[in-house]
Chains A and B, each alone.
Chain A
Amino acid sequence: MLSFLRFGVIFSFLLSVIALSLLVMKTFSFGKKPLYAKPRGDAKKGIFYALGRGMLPWEKESSGKHLPSYFAGMLYHAGIFSALFYLLSLTFSLELSRLFISLLRFLFVLGFLGGFTLLFKRILLPQIRKISYPDDFTANIIVDLFLIFAFVHTYSMRATPIFFFLAIVMFLYIPVGKIRHCFFFFYARILFGLFYGRRGVLPPKPHKS
């Protein structure tokens, strides 16, 4: 049963990668926008900014004004990446130290709290609810459950089948729902940095304000 599920995890992951790649190829088939205007700034600097400093809360008003949401999002994603690493270790039977598992456990809890906070916010705030669709709730719930069972699994190996099953569901859901932003996030940030970097807007020049 376990080997079957382990195979399922690997298979669903590969399927997810293939489906996501097809989606990316379809996106790229829309064609590249040629850029003829002479740059005023440095596109590379813009991209580095967009992927680095530009994500710090004081760089963006939308983050700075909403610190709880910002940190909930950060913790959520830290938890997800930790759980994915934990899943990898289980799938390929890698040994992890007790101390490291304790650290992961802590991150799973924080990640779950972050994710749950964002879900709660989506349900409670009417403006956010109005821009939410079943996909927004489903994606969050699947990932929250994945985090919960990653946590449970660190205490009980009996949770392995459920944890693997949730991993399969999550991987299969990635290309069809909003979790696809796991790829598009980075691509969008690069394009954002390119746009404002070329125009000499970002990174912002130091000044006394």
Chain B
Amino acid sequence: MKLKHRENQIPNSMSENAHIKDVLEEKIIQLKPEDLKKALQIFREKLNQEYAAYLHSCVHCGLCADSCHYYLTHEDVQSLPAYKLSLVQGVFKKYFSFVGKNFPGWTGAKEFNQAMVGEWVDSFFGRCTLCGRCSLNCSLGINIHLLIRTARSALASMGIVPPGLQSTVDTALEKGNNMGIVKEDWIETVEWLEQELQDEVGDKQARLPMDKKGARLLYTVNPKEPMFFPLSILAVGKMFYAAGESWTLSSDNYDVTNYGYFTGNDEAAATMSDRLVQSMKKLSCKTLVLAECGHGFSAARWEAPEWLGKKYDFEVKSILDIVADYIRQGRIKLDPSPNPNPVTLHDPCNLVRLGGIVEEQRYILKHAVSHFIEMSPNREKNFCCGGGGGQLAMTRFSQRRLKAGQIKADQIRKTGAKIVAAPCHNCIDQLMELNKHYKLGVEVKTICEIAADALLIIRNKDQFKNI
């Protein structure tokens, strides 16, 4: 397999695909009453007491407005989180509440028909990245993004998912990874990277182990990495090598991504999650380590056990947890001097606000770079880049996505940084597009790529004493 250079893989998402647009609209027009009934049934099944309580809680204060990057950049009521929520709430009231059933106009209860399906698609797929920023800012504490995902589930049950997003799920289900990489290409790429690693560290024994049974860690990757970002894998390989880690890659079922998380199709999401569980069993590893992938982390760490309905008998960690531990334990040493340019950090929503990995990336960067600048706001309050929620796979909404990304572009520009660290490949794709579109003049890298540049490869451990 030929590996492409990073710059070549920026999707030309500026061109709206009219054909795709028609396909989805056609599907909506052809919906039958039984399809709508089925979707309502799925909607009901996915609701639990938590979600039902949220749907009874919204007081329509509208204070969530400023928290949404879509609303801030578009300023239309359709982008207001409370409006989006009112679309879910309206259907809930109409079919599952006494007042809504009998006096629909009074509380905003709404019929679930083709027009509403169209509005749901536009709002929940086209104006939301499921970033959870509105949830964090809701006066009542309503997890709005969870309700929007539930509505996506209902749409998915009718096959109403933007085609680009659905095809990513289909490819993953059919081929085992979302880019459809064949096993031989994956193995060949890893072998090539292993040679690169050996050259870089000057050790012919350095390995990128594949299918090593009983290794402590199983490292999963985003299929974009072997396709477009091989340096990300190499960077992690260097880190493991320097730490003397017992780890392995898997020749199959190695995909950390899970686009079922975005479509709302829990069954597909569970199938993809189960593959990682099977890899863990097959290789008898102790910890599942997730590559720098925001939604992949949220899906595998937080949602997968719920989808599969079981507790895991192994640990699930982000690679950032692992690298931060290496630094704390003195298993690797970093020298920030190779990274003199100012670096800022983008906090992926799924990893930080919804995932809880907040300080690890900062800890690593503070050891790896000479000049670290925080964005404002940051951590759990950071803005979404606009690439979440499967937006990068939905070409029909790409204009909106770029416009919504202006908030992030402004945040980056204000820092004056030359490098943006982003521990998520979807975010990286979006940031690279924003970089081009808003002429930011920055370089976008993963945390491990930056840390690997600062890594001191020391085969003789005594040398640590002089550092």
Report if B143 contacts A (CB, 8 A): yes
Flag B121-151 by CB within 8 Å of A: 1 or 0 each: 0000000000000011111111100000000
Which of B77, B80, B105, B141 is most buried by chain A, counting CB atoms within 10 A of its CB?
B141
Q: Which of B62, B64, B66, B315 contacts A125 (CB 8 A)?
A: B62
- Decide: A30 and B106 in contact? CB cutoff 8 A: no
Q: How far is the CB of B365 from chain A (nearest CB, A)?
A: 13
A50 within 8 A of B: yes
User: Chain B 353-379, CB within 8 Å of chain A: the 1/0 string?
Assistant: 111101100000000000000101111
Q: Which residues of chain A come closer than 8 Å to B301, judged between CB atoms?
A: 37
Question: Which of the candidate stretches A87-95, A103-111, A162-170, A183-191 sits at the interface with the other chain?
Answer: A183-191
A123 on the interface (CB 8 Å rule)? no
Q: How far is the CA of A69 from the CA of B63 in the complex (A)?
A: 9
> Which of B50-58, B228-236, B322-330, B406-414 participates in binding chain A?
B50-58
Asked if B60 and A132 make an inter-chain contact with CB atoms under 8 angstroms apart, the answer reads: yes
- Whether A131 touches B47, Cβ cut-off 8 Å, given contacts A66-B63, A69-B63, A188-B54, is no
A62 within 8 A of partner (CB): yes
Q: For residue A135, which residues in chain B have a CB less than 8 angstroms away from its CB?
A: 106-108
Whether A37 touches B305, Cβ cut-off 8 Å, given contacts A128-B60, A131-B86, A191-B50, is: yes
Residues of B close to A41: CB separation below 8 A: 356
Task: Report A-chain residues with C-beta under 8 Å of the C-beta of B47.
Answer: 30
Q: What residue of chain B has the Cβ atom nearest to residue A208's Cβ? A: B374
Please tell me which stretch of B6-14, B183-191, B214-222, B306-314 contacts chain A, meaning at least 4 of its Cβ atoms lie within 8 angstroms of it.
B306-314
Q: Which residues of A sit under 8 angstroms from B51, Cβ to Cβ?
A: 30
B56 near A63: Cβ-Cβ < 8 Å = no
A-side interface size class: 35 or more
- From the candidates B142, B352, B374, B380, name the one contacting A192 in the complex (CB within 8 A): B142
Q: Which residues of chain A (50-89) have a CB below 8 Å from chain B? A: 50, 60-63, 65-66, 69-70, 73
Chain B neighbourhood of A23, CB < 8 A: 56
Q: Does A181 contact B (CB under 8 A)?
A: yes
A153 at the interface (CB under 8 A from B): no
Q: Is B467 an interface residue (CB 8 A)?
A: no
Other-chain contact of A60, B137, B303, B306 (Cβ < 8 Å): B137
Instruction: Enumerate chain B residues within 8 angstroms of A187, measured Cβ to Cβ.
Output: 53, 57
Please name all residues of chain B whose beta carbon is closer than 8 Å to the beta carbon of A201 when the two chains form the complex: 352-356, 358, 380
Q: How large is the interface on B (under 10, 10 to 19, 20 to 34, 35 or more residues)?
A: 35 or more
A40 touches B309 (CB 8 A): no
Which of B86, B99, B137 contacts A61, CB < 8 Å? B137
Is the Cβ of A37 less than 8 Å from the Cβ of B306?
Answer: yes
Tell which of B139, B312, B358 touches A63, judged by Cβ atoms closer than 8 Å: B139
Q: Mark A14-52, 1 if CB is under 8 A from B, else 0.
A: 000000000100111111111111101100000000100
CB distance from A47 to the nearest CB of B (A): 10
- Which residue of chain B has the shortest Cβ distance to A179 in the bound complex? B59
Instruction: Contact check, B77 vs A176: say whether CB atoms are below 8 A apart.
Output: no
Establish whether residues B49 and A40, one from each chain, have CB atoms under 8 Å apart when the complex forms: no
Q: Given the interface contacts A128-B60, A199-B302, does A62 sit within 8 Å of B107 by beta carbon?
A: no
A127 within 8 Å of B (CB atoms) = yes
User: Is the C-beta of A193 less than 8 angstroms from some C-beta in chain B?
Assistant: yes
The answer to the question of B418 belonging to the interface, with a C-beta cut-off of 8 Å to chain A, is no
Report the Cα distance A200→B138, complex, angstroms: 19
- Tell me whether A30 and B108 are in contact (CB under 8 A): no
Chain A residues, Cβ within 8 Å of B354: 199, 201
* Measured CA separation A177–B64 after assembly (Å): 21
Chain B contacts of A62 at CB under 8 A? 63-64, 66-67, 137-139
Q: A30-B52, A134-B105 are in contact. Are A202 and B142 (CB under 8 A)?
A: no
Asked if B95 lies at the interface with its beta carbon under 8 angstroms from chain A, I say no
Query: A residues engaging B (CB < 8 A)?
Result: 23, 26-38, 40-41, 50, 60-63, 65-66, 69-70, 73, 118, 122, 125-128, 130-136, 176-178, 180-181, 184-185, 187-189, 191-193, 195-196, 199-202, 204-205, 207, 209
Given pairs A62-B66, A62-B67, A73-B61, 19 additional interface contacts (CB within 8 A): A32-B48, A60-B139, A62-B137, A66-B63, A122-B60, A128-B62, A131-B80, A131-B82, A136-B59, A177-B99, A178-B60, A181-B57, A188-B54, A191-B143, A192-B135, A199-B302, A201-B354, A201-B355, A204-B358
A-B contact pairs, 22 of them (CB 8 A): A33-B306, A34-B309, A36-B305, A36-B309, A36-B312, A37-B303, A37-B304, A37-B305, A61-B66, A61-B377, A122-B60, A127-B65, A127-B77, A133-B106, A136-B59, A176-B98, A178-B107, A187-B53, A188-B142, A201-B358, A204-B379, A207-B379
